[in-house]
Amino acid sequence: MLTFITLLVIACVPTQKLTIAGNVDLNDLQPLATPANRQTSALRVAIAAVISPKGTVESYAPLLRYLEEKLNRPVELIQRRTYMEINDLIAHGQVDMAFVCTSAYIQGHDTFGMELLVAPQVNGKTTYNSFLIVPANSLARSMADLRGKVFAFTDPISLSGRVYPTYLVQQLGFTPEEFFSRTFYTYSHDEAIRAIASGLADGAAVDSLVYAFMLERDPALREKLKVIHTSPDFGIPPVVVNPAIRPQIKHELKSILLEMANDAAAQEALKSIGVERFVPISDEIYQSARELMRTLLLFNQP
């Protein structure tokens, strides 16, 4: 009886049929071919890490696809962790066009002649501000109240994320190292906003455009954050080109970008990055920011 039951049980075990996709010898290692030279004909577009790399890909994908169609050539997206790395790529001619931060433009313009192409217009303006934000339940009402707290900077050369808050601290007579108990870099504005929302930092200064964009995308953030200080207007982060770019390409790019507002096919791309239209721009608009940076540099170099 026992024997019978045992046999029955054995017979009833479902024999899991596993399909084998293929055979591989894991020790049969072959040298990898050197990657084919990255599409030399591609237009190389760099985007500064205003928002995190993943967010950038998602937001800028329609715009890049639009450019590919218009130019009839592939567009290669290049991202780096810091603004300075992007500036270096532009300076060395490894990037044709770039979306950079205001301070990165000023640094690039003043050191190697980075050229303005167009500027995005948001809410009818080509300026933006630095918002000093704190958690919604914070008692802080100005920078002075954030003394001894944890502060999140975005990028070392970000105007709204580092230069302006540093300026505010200096106005109070301190260096950030003295004033805050601890500071850290998030390398992008959306991460700084998330750092405040999650309580990782007690305060941060962020790009007003990114702030508005994030709040629109994730309304739940409204409950968690509040703005306690707004900076004066600064010139909006522009679209720039490598100074060595061929003039025809520069012209072509400029006209495509300027025409986007009138092209029904471009609306999705504009909406995805939260821009109404691209408009021509001159260097004067960045003068206030430039002066602020100079003050800071003087202050920084005793």
- Shortest distance, position 42 Cβ to other proteins, whole Å: 12
Residue with tokens 């290692």: 29
Decide if 238 contacts 127 (C-beta within 8 A): no
CA nearest neighbour of 169 among 295, 290, 84, 302 = 295
CA–CA gap between residue 14 and residue 18 (Å, rounded): 12
By CB under 8 A, the residues from 47 to 76 that bind other proteins are: 49, 52-54, 56-58, 61
Alpha-carbon Rg of the chain, whole angstroms?
25
Decide whether 77 or 258 has the Cβ nearer to other proteins. 77
- Shortest distance, position 78 Cβ to other proteins, whole Å: 8
**Part in contact with other proteins (CB under 8 A); list of ranges 23-31, 113-121, 158-166, 260-268:** 23-31
**Part in contact with other proteins (CB under 8 A); list of ranges 25-33, 119-127, 142-150, 169-177:** 25-33
Residue 78 binds to other proteins (criterion: CB under 8 A)? yes
Residue with tokens 């691209």: 278
Quote the tokens at residue 176.
């950030």
Residue 42 binds to other proteins (criterion: CB under 8 A)? no
Residue 25 binds to other proteins (criterion: CB under 8 A)? yes
CA distances 94 to 77, 78, 91, 244, Å, are 12, 10, 8, 10
Decide whether 89 or 212 has the Cβ nearer to other proteins. 89
Decide if 98 contacts 240 (C-beta within 8 A): yes
**Part in contact with other proteins (CB under 8 A); list of ranges 6-14, 116-124, 129-137, 147-155:** 6-14
Element (H, E) at 255: helix 247-259
- Shortest distance, position 152 Cβ to other proteins, whole Å: 17
CA–CA gap between residue 249 and residue 81 (Å, rounded): 27
**Part in contact with other proteins (CB under 8 A); list of ranges 19-27, 101-109, 129-137, 264-272:** 19-27
Residue 23 binds to other proteins (criterion: CB under 8 A)? yes
**Part in contact with other proteins (CB under 8 A); list of ranges 10-18, 172-180, 240-248, 290-298:** 10-18
Q: Is 137 helix (H, G, I), strand (E, B) or coil?
A: coil
Residue 41 binds to other proteins (criterion: CB under 8 A)? no
Residue 244 binds to other proteins (criterion: CB under 8 A)? no
CA 246, 119, 95, 265 dihedral sign is negative
Q: What secondary structure letter does DSSP report for 96? A: S
- In the complex, the residues that contact other proteins under the rule CB under 8 A are 2-3, 6-7, 9-10, 13-16, 18-32, 35-36, 49, 52-54, 56-58, 61, 77-81
